[in-house]
Amino acid sequence: MKQYDYLIVGAGLYGACFAYLAKRKGHRCLVIDKRGHSGGNMYCENIESINVHKYGAHIFHTSNRKVWEFVNSLCEFNNYINSPVANYKGKLYNLPFNMNTFHALWGVVTPEQAREKIREQRERAGISEPRNLEEQAISLVGSDIYEILIKGYTEKQWGRKCTELPASIIKRLPVRFTFDNNYFNDLWQGIPTGGYNRLFDKLLEGIETRLGTDYFSDRQYFDSIAEKTVFTGPVDQFYGYRFGKLEYRTVRFETSVLDTGNYQGVAVMNYTDAETPYTRIIEHKHFEFGNQEKTVISKEYSSEWKSDSEPYYPINNERNNCLYQKYKDLADSETSVIFGGRLAEYRYYDMHNIVEKVLEHPELKTTE
């Protein structure tokens, strides 16, 4: 009998939830992560008593009651509602696209007037079946919003023309004909009181966790100590990039401490023009309604992923999806390896998607 039932590679959300539920079923787990901390991209660093979302702003939102109850059983969530503001050349607009945005842009007052404006612009563009992000955006919200709030931001974020990106990316954003600045449509949202690390402390409580430990540094040893491996790193790396490398976008953060209590008055401000080199500025204290004397902001820059940077966003275009399918075929034939999470499944998952996947995993599912 091997020492562990599961070796879990990655102490991010997928790995930590898997470990928690497996332990609850009586399984022996070892979690390893190559980073010096758990939490994956949700990790918070404490700077000036502010929980800084080190790898980018994370807002938990879901409409799945089981998921919401599960995370709330581990830690308390506050009532933060994400309402980012877009800054286009110094002029501010509310997001997601809603009556406040339409009013600021066109002076329209009623939903019918806003719909009419969009209808006119859609017809002028002559799009019937949107084939890419640009066409999808124009047919959803018209050409003005596309030019001012979407084109510059999206092309900075993805490093590709909107005409070369899949329509699905923009479908994530709500379009509303009400005066409602809530960025998400979900029933529940919030930030763990005290930051995301609290959630991970609870998930990994009593589970052997080795940080600063890369699976690939001694693969043979790690494969020998557990009955099964749960792998949450990049799937192409697992297979030695044998079919070629999947592409990712990476993000870089320029974080500074400022000697002011309130820099921008909102947690997230998107810079939607093409000229500003960063996509957004995060002011972390606002996620937890902080009133510390100082503030911490992070400017977020998006760039193409290289082997020495962190892979963040899978680029689900045709080339990459075909390549991923080849890796997936191999992964599906494994009997002692489980692939899960954003990197191993090469999917643009949100946190609630990850929790749901783990809760539903056949090896962990409980009938209660």
Which spans of this chain sit near ligand UDP (rule: CB under 6 A)? 86, 95, 149-150, 153-154, 157, 169-170, 172-173, 270, 272
Peptide bond preceding 96: is omega within 30 degrees of 0, i.e. cis? Answer: yes
Pairing of strands 85-88, 44-47: unpaired
Contact status: 10 vs ligand FAD (CB under 6 A)? yes
Ramachandran area for residue 138 (φ above 0: left; ψ -120 to 50: alpha; else beta) = alpha
Binding site partner of 12, from ligand UDP, ligand FAD, none, Cβ cut-off 5-8 A by kind: ligand FAD
Q: Which of 87, 94, 197, 232 binds ligand FAD (CB under 6 A)?
A: 232
Contact status: 354 vs ligand FAD (CB under 6 A)? yes
Contact status: 8 vs ligand FAD (CB under 6 A)? no
By CB neighbour count within 10 A (0-12 exposed, 13-18 middle, 19+ buried), where does 263 fall?
middle
Nearest-approach distance from CB 337 to ligand UDP, in angstroms: 28
What residues are labeled active site? Answer: 172, 176, 249, 280, 300, 348, 350
Contact status: 14 vs ligand FAD (CB under 6 A)? yes
Pairing of strands 50-53, 44-47: antiparallel
Q: Which of 28, 34, 299, 361 binds ligand FAD (CB under 6 A)?
A: 34
- Buried b or exposed e, range 192-207, using 16+ CB within 10 angstroms: bebbbbbbbeebbeeb
Identity of the residue, 213 or 316, whose beta carbon is nearer to ligand UDP in the bound complex: 316
Binding site partner of 154, from ligand UDP, ligand FAD, none, Cβ cut-off 5-8 A by kind: ligand UDP
291 within 8 A of 261, measured Cβ to Cβ: yes
Contact status: 174 vs ligand FAD (CB under 6 A)? no
Q: Which of 6, 15, 19, 117 binds ligand FAD (CB under 6 A)?
A: 15
Identity of the residue, 153 or 231, whose beta carbon is nearer to ligand UDP in the bound complex: 153
Identity of the residue, 127 or 364, whose beta carbon is nearer to ligand UDP in the bound complex: 127
Sequence-distant contacts of 318-327: CB under 8 A, at least 24 apart: 319/247, 320/246, 320/247, 320/346, 323/236, 323/243, 323/244, 323/246, 324/235, 324/246, 326/243, 327/235, 327/236, 327/238, 327/239, 327/243, 327/246
Identity of the residue, 150 or 343, whose beta carbon is nearer to ligand FAD in the bound complex: 343
Distance CA 258, CA 261 (A): 8
Contact positions toward ligand FAD, by CB under 6 A?
Answer: 9-15, 32-35, 40-42, 56-60, 214-216, 232-233, 251, 312, 341-343, 349-352, 354
